[in-house]
Amino acid sequence: MAQDGPQSQTIAVIGGGIAGVTAALEAAETGYDVILIEKEPALGGRVTRLNRYFPKFCHPTCGLEINYQRLRKNPRVKVLTMHEVTAVEGEKGAYVITARRLPRFVNEKCTACGECGKVCETEIDDPYNYGLGKVKAARLPHEHAFPMRYVIDAAVKGTDDEGRIAEACQYGAVDFSEEEEEVTLNAGAVIWATGWRPYDATRLETYHYADSPDIINNVEMERLANHDGPTGGKVVRPSDGEPAKKVALIQCAGSRDVNHLPYCSMICCLASLKHAAYVLEQYEDAEVHMYYIDIRAHDKMQTFYERIKVDPRIKFIKSKPAEIHPGADGRPVVKGERTIDRELYEESYDLVVLATGMEPSAKDISASGDVVKDEDGFVLAIESGDGGQVSCGVAAGPFDVALSTQSGTAAALKAIQAVGAR
Amino acid sequence: MTAAIPATSRTYDLSFARWVRENVKGGDKMNLCMQCGVCSGSCPIGSEMDNGPRKTFMMVRAGMKDEVLSSTTLWNCTSCYRCYVRCPRGIPVTSIIQGLAAVAAKEGYADKEKVSNYYFSKAFWWSARSFGKTDERLVTMKYFFSFGLVEGIKRALANLKIALGMVKAGRMHIGMPHSIRNKSQLKAIIAKAAELESKG
């Protein structure tokens, strides 16, 4: 097939979340070389930040750990962390991927002994916890990190910490000479597994997310409930640490809205039902109100919805709230119209969780060739294209974890067909 | 809005939604409504409305023509456009409510017992048309006396204290009505607008 010169058979996977890791492993286990490119210091993406999965409440760490085991055993997958892809150009067999390599200041000699973290005094907003807590600038990204290697934030540069950290490392793993640089990578096929980010809740002006620490979004709720989150797993009010017993869950916060994300993200209703379960599990006298337009618990998820629904402590209110703001006593107030009986309501809560939707991260990456981005930023393969680029996970559409892994496997199959049998 | 409204003898006029769609400005967008309630919840005077926009839309769909056209919702709207701006489906809610009010007035649904704002709108328009400005005293008086002589006197007396307070605070003037210069130009503008409207 290599009539026009050397044709690469390497498959590049952009994004090391659950879809990307799955696609990379599936392709590598059939015998192809894979480059897995991740912009964060560790793999796992959004999934590693979740507390539990719906509908079975199992731990995401379980599935990730199995995948990391597979990665460790497979020399065909080359994992590149802290590489932020900016553009993909070229055609099947000869793609050029441009990425910004961000400085980690820690090389592969790191043993994760933790001495650098002990001497580091600089603290930064913890990106793993969506900024909900502080963390040392020299840190392990999180306890389950793959690769198990420290990362140092550029905030220490020029401070006393810089010398202290370099001195603390006994393995010569700290390297402050690293600088951001542009790198190019070559591949024969490209799998877009770029995933998503939560829609920016500050843009929902009437919901005053920025004006109260007790108005949070759904991904932050996962961190609050997680044992390695900022509160050690207690669902409390971020403002004063008091138990969050009366909680409002707001569906379609910016979703199905032409002013924000026009589509339904499919997972939010189910994630919110899960959040209800977190609160109900922690407090005997909890009171959870779920505000919704309609509950979208697709096929088998209906059973999950019905299971949560029977608890008398959860109430479903059919209404998209018109306004949410901090009240006179500081507690967030939710206002709107109940659409079943047309009553106007105004109710205070300990905690309000905005179920913000998934915005595709691929919006930031320039695509060309046989993929296009639709008007919402999702990446779609062109039917008539050469098949060298495919997408999976939330890069392709708003999927839950199960569909993301399925689509990851499907993408791996398409990619190995594209680079051809050997 | 040129087509005649379909006549109906039943409570539920199933052709009403289609008629609204075809004849009311913005009515073609009404079928996008997903009944989320943001419009009614956002309305600053939602508590003064019997139905609010969301329920009104559902009633149009259900063919409840009489109830929709005699509702206070159409007349209590202040045109702040909050519902329109916030609607997640981009439905021109305000325009539809105003359009339905115009139909209600034309069709004789504006019942003064229920929709007194209709008379306020008329008084306001009378002042704007006559003087090019609104005169707070005359608009109020004209509005009060649209309910009859006795009711007019009753309302005027009931509001006397407020009126005197406003005079004292300089918020209401005594003397000749405020008026613009060149009223003939205003009349020409209004005549032209009426001509354009009659042409559709």
Clarify whether residues A84 and A191 are in a common domain: yes
Q: Is A291 in a helix, a strand, or coil?
A: strand
**Cβ A322–B34 below 8 Å, yes or no?**
no
Q: What is the average pLDDT across B142-170?
A: 91
The domain locations on chain B are: 16-106, 116-199
| Separation CA B59–CA B64 (nearest Å) | 5
Whether pLDDT at A1 is above 50:
no
A320 at B interface, C-beta within 8 A: yes
> What pLDDT, on a 0 to 100 scale, did the predictor assign at position A170?
96
Mark whether A49 and A190 lie in a shared domain: yes
What's the number of domains chain A is made of? Answer: 3
Domain assignment present for residue A323? The answer is: yes
Among A258-267, A268-277, B4-13, B55-64, the range scoring the smallest mean pLDDT is: B4-13
Domain boundary (A356, A385, A411) is at A356
pLDDT, mean over chain B:
89
User: Taking a C-beta distance cutoff of 8 angstroms, is the pair A337, B37 a contact?
Assistant: yes
- Tell me the mean pLDDT in the region A303-326: 97
How high is the pLDDT of residue B197? 84
Confidence (pLDDT) at A380: 93
A295 lies in the same domain as A382: no
- Cα angle at A14 between A180 and A106, to 5 degrees? 35
Instruction: State yes or no: pLDDT of A173 exceeds 80.
Output: yes
Q: How far is CA B185 from CA A422, B55, B180, B192, B195, in A?
A: 86, 42, 10, 11, 15
Domain of residue A351 covers: 200-356
Spatial neighbors of B160 by CB under 8 A, at least 6 apart, are none
Helices (H), chain B: 16-23, 38-42, 52-62, 65-69, 73-76, 82-86, 93-106, 116-131, 136-145, 149-158, 160-168, 183-199
Decide which of B174 and A88 is more confident.
A88
Residues A331 and A415 grouped into a single domain: no
Q: Is the pLDDT of residue A3 over 70?
A: no
Q: Which amino acid is at B20?
A: V
Name the CA dihedral angle for B36, B38, B40, B44, rounded to a multiple of 10 degrees.
170
Interchain contact A347–B (C-beta under 8 A):
no
Interface test with B, best of A259, A339, A346 (most B CBs within 10 A): A339
Query: Measured between beta carbons, which residues in chain A are less than 8 angstroms from residue B38?
Result: 320-322, 336
pLDDT over 70 (residue A289): yes
Answer yes or no: are the C-beta atoms of A315 and A340 closer than 8 Å: no
Q: Mean pLDDT throughout A232-239?
A: 96
CATH number, residue A74: 3.50.50.60
Q: Are residues A130 and A40 in the same domain?
A: no
Q: Given a cut of 50, is residue A2 above it in pLDDT?
A: no
Tell me the nearest-neighbour CA distance from A304 into chain B, angstroms: 24
Of the residues A356, A372, A398, which one is the last residue of a structural domain? A356
A268, A369 in Cβ contact below 8 A?
no
Omega prior to B53 cis, within 30 of 0: no
Q: Which residues of B touch A322 (CB under 8 A)?
A: 37-38, 40-42, 86
On whether residue A5 sits in a domain, the answer given is: no
User: pLDDT value at position A23?
Assistant: 98
Residues 6+ apart with CB under 8 A from A89: A95, A96, A98, A368, A369
Task: Name the strand (E) or helix (H) holding A165.
Answer: helix A160-168
Percent of chain A with pLDDT over 70: 98
Residues A83 and A205 in one domain: no
Question: Tell me, what's the pLDDT at A260?
Answer: 97
Residue A1 belongs to some domain of the structure: no
Structure tokens at A139: 């840190």
**Same domain for A343 and A232:** yes
Asked whether residue A131 is assigned to any structural domain, the reply reads yes
Asked whether the predicted pLDDT for residue B5 surpasses 90, the reply is no
Q: For chain A, say whether B198 makes contact (Cβ under 8 Å).
A: no
Of A118, A143, A156, A174, nearest in space to A59 by CA: A143
Question: Are A293 and B42 within 8 A, CB to CB?
Answer: no
Same domain, A143 and A98: no
Q: Domain check: are A154 and A239 in the same one? A: no
Q: Does residue A339 lie within any of the structural domains?
A: yes
Q: How far apart are CA B197 and CA B200, in angstroms?
A: 5
Min Cα separation A370/chain B (Å): 32
CATH code for residues B16-106: 1.10.1060.10
Determine the longest span between alpha carbons in chain A, in angstroms: 73
Same domain assignment for residues A76 and A189: yes
What is the complex's ipTM, to 2 decimals?
A: 0.88
Q: Select from A207, A320, A334, A347 the residue whose CB has the most chain B CBs within 10 Å, as the one to mutate to test that interface.
A: A320
Last residue of a domain, one of A309, A341, A356: A356
Cβ atoms of A244 and A216 closer than 8 Å: no
Calculate the average pLDDT of chain A.
95
Distance from CA of B17 to the nearest CA of A (A): 20
CB of A206 within 8 Å of a chain B CB? The answer is yes
Cα distances from A12 to residues A47, B67, B87, in angstroms, run: 21, 63, 42
Q: A105-156, pLDDT tens digit by residue?
A: 999 999 999 999 999 999 999 999 999 999 999 999 999 999 999 999 999 9
Q: Which amino acid is at A190?
A: V
Q: Is the pLDDT of residue B160 over 70?
A: yes
Mean pLDDT confidence for A77-106: 96
Binary contact (A344, B40; C-beta < 8 A): yes
